[in-house]
Amino acid sequence: MLRPRIIPSLLIRNKGLTKTVKFKDGRYIGDPLNAVRIFNEKSVDEIMVVDIDASTESRGPDFDLIRKLAAECRMPLCYGGGITTVEQANRIINSGVEKVALSSAVLQRPELISDIARELGSQSVVVVLDVRKRLLGGRYEIYVKNGTKGTGLCPFEFAKQAEALGAGEIVINSIDRDGVMEGYDMGLVRKMRAVTSLPLTVLGGAGKLDDIASLINEFGIIGAGAGSFFLYKGVYKAVLINYPSPESKDALFNKHFESIRS
């Protein structure tokens, strides 16, 4: 039976683990390899690692770091950052990574989705859409360059295009909610769920287990991603890597399945 996934999202900057707020003010957290080792012990469902400066700095993936991350991970690993070619994606998968996350490159060349899907299979192709809500008109727009440059692209239309081109998953990331820890943008998720049947992962806003519970209870089989929630503890945001216990996860999932049966 398919189940929801609860996914830590780790951001890499200068080879270190960092955490942002609304894509700004990156705070150094520590060694990403140590974080992965701790998450191994907590038996996480999946982990996503993104080099947030690779595309902005026009450089390719850090294959040495990818190799080390893949060697440490005992859970499915999705890696993103600087991927612009089929060859790069293939090398990453051959390093032991399960999925590649594509963003800026496919916004410029959507056909790259098809090219990589043909080579690696759709199940390995994740399209990440970093989204901000415009103040005027309230419409959602895809942004690039760490949330500093609008593209004019509608995330819902692009998600439909990505699905048609062979993407295997969509990640929708709310820039406005990043690091705020006040709950997911549920309106954004509803609109995205209405336009695509692909597996969907949501990032931006989780601050407590109830936020993840609300997402799963409404949308069922979905990926609940978070960064700050799994890296910080308490109102002063002390760094403490954490993850729901198996009992807490089972309670969330069972509540969802019970609602389906009733």
Residues annotated catalytic, as ranges:
130
Question: Beta strands 232-233 and 77-80: pairing type?
Answer: unpaired
Q: How far apart are CA 183 and CA 98, in angstroms?
A: 28
Inter-residue contact 197 to 207 (CB < 8 Å): no
Alpha-carbon distance of 245 to 251, in angstroms, equals 10
Structure tokens belonging to residue 147 = 């949330």
The sign one gets for the Cα dihedral 178, 190, 222, 162 is: negative
Q: Which of 172, 161, 56 is nearest to 104 (CA)?
A: 56
d(CA 16, CA 38) in angstroms, rounded, equals 16
Give the helix/strand (H/E) hosting 9: strand 5-13
- As a whole number of angstroms, the distance between CA 251 and CA 248 comes to 5
At 203, phi and psi to the nearest 5?
-125, 150
CA 246 remoteness from chain centre = 21
